[in-house]
Amino acid sequence: MSEKTRRYVAVLLAILFVAAFIAALFSPYPRRVGPAGERYEVVWTDGSVTQESFQDAFSCLSGISAAGDVLLIKDEKIGTYVSGNGMKEALGYLEEGALAPMLSMDVALSRLESAALFREYGDMLYYDAGDFFAFDGERVKPTAIGVAEKVFFTGGELTGALLVRTEAQTLVIGDDADFSYKTLYGTAATAEGRNRYRIAGGAIVDTSLGGIFAAGQPLFEEIAVPDVAVCARGALLPCKKLLSLSLPFVGSGPVAAGEEYVGELGYLFTEGQDYFVPDTLKQVTVRGGALVSFAFYHCPALEEIDACGVDPALIERQAFEGLPSLRRLHTPRADVSLTDPEKFTTYVAECGCTVYERKES
């Protein structure tokens, strides 16, 4: 072998070594897992039990069961590999989303368990107080912002502008997150809650302090806010496609009293001094609370209001004024004032309420 050939071989070997080292660094599954030759006992739905290699098991990997075991699908059969305690411990950390325990997580995983976890959580970014983190198959580590299917909002504040950059379709809201409408404003993400934040009827409710309606789901066309103690200012600003809305009360709270009380529906669409009620909103149902004068101010496209659930003594006469598009009103107070009253007919409903309906032109 000539000197030139030896140098060439040496350089080639060096390149191959560096490539292997880099591949190991960025391998999607951890290096501290069981040996490549380990085999996995899989129980199939037809009662058979097989010993699968990693390659065979990985090729038919399906997901993770509710019990934390690895699921496989082959030849239309479902197989289960019973995971160890390390897998279940890692699942607990990743599902709860508490940053400190995730960063210190050190569990023993087989290659198959690691692969299953990475498939489930490898396309998720964790966000906490300005920093992003990702699971690499073994640990949760700091990372740069990138594209992800899900973002787990674990703590601090998160703006919609930052969430949009991840292109995430789902936002998981952790219990320590300082969540508000600003997190979803301008996004198309669907929110999921854990314990503190409850999702119901398209509404995201912070269950602390008796329940606070914090925000609406951006893409929902119909939202039914459950019974809460308070509604946050601007909670519905992310909802640009909203068609109908059901509320326990209009405004900030159920009682028309106190310096902080605001009794207008527009309060839920307010940013600063400006109103951003979408023209898509056509129908509103109010189940309680009070209706002050001009309660539906700055809702020019609203066509139908059902206030059957409101105490008539708590409805001011001018509550429904200023609604040029109104076509139907169901109200327990009969002598309300309307814009262009001569354009409406009235009748008494079975519940005793008065129904105003716009005459056909």
Mean pLDDT by 10 residues, the chain (361 residues): 41 43 42 64 96 95 96 96 96 92 93 96 96 95 97 96 98 96 97 95 95 98 97 97 98 91 96 93 98 94 97 97 96 95 96 95 70
2 and 102 in a common domain = no
Burial class (CB in 10 A: 0-12, 13-18, 19+), 102: buried
Calculate helix-pair angle for 111-121, 85-96, nearest 10 degrees: 10
311 and 182 in a common domain = no
DSSP 297: T
Token pair, residue 68, equals: 């934390």
350 and 317 in a common domain = yes
224 and 307 in a common domain = yes
136 and 63 in a common domain = no
Provide the sign of the torsion angle of the four alpha carbons 7, 10, 16, 19, taken in this order: negative
Other CB atoms within 10 Å distance of the CB of residue 318: 15
For the chain, the first-to-last Cα distance in angstroms comes to 100
Name the nearest CA neighbour of 266 among 299, 239, 240.
299
- Angle at 104 (CA atoms; ends 100, 110), nearest 5 degrees: 130
The pLDDT, as a whole number, for residue 313 is 97
The pairing of strands 49-53 and 140-143 is unpaired
The pLDDT, as a whole number, for residue 38 is 83
163 and 144 in a common domain = yes
96 and 234 in a common domain = no
SS3 label, residue 92: helix
- Boundary (domain end) residue, out of 172, 195, 218: 195
Token pair, residue 318, equals: 């001018």
Q: Which domain holds residue 279?
A: 203-361
128 and 77 in a common domain = no
- Boundary (domain end) residue, out of 195, 223, 238: 195
286 and 316 in a common domain = yes
Long-range contacts of 214-219 (CB under 8 A, 24+ apart): 214/179, 214/180, 214/181, 215/179, 215/180, 215/181, 215/183, 215/184, 215/191, 216/181, 216/242, 217/184, 217/190, 217/191, 218/184, 218/187, 218/188, 218/189, 218/190, 219/188, 219/190
The pLDDT, as a whole number, for residue 317 is 97
319 and 340 in a common domain = yes
The pLDDT, as a whole number, for residue 8 is 41
Name the nearest CA neighbour of 284 among 331, 318, 317.
331
The pLDDT, as a whole number, for residue 259 is 87
The pLDDT, as a whole number, for residue 36 is 56
42 and 25 in a common domain = no
pTM, two decimal places: 0.84
What are the phi and psi torsion angles at 78 (to 5°)?
Answer: -100, 130
What total number of domains does the chain contain? 4
Token pair, residue 186, equals: 């301008």
SS3 label, residue 269: helix
What are the phi and psi torsion angles at 305 (to 5°)?
Answer: -130, 130
79 and 41 in a common domain = yes
The pLDDT, as a whole number, for residue 272 is 87
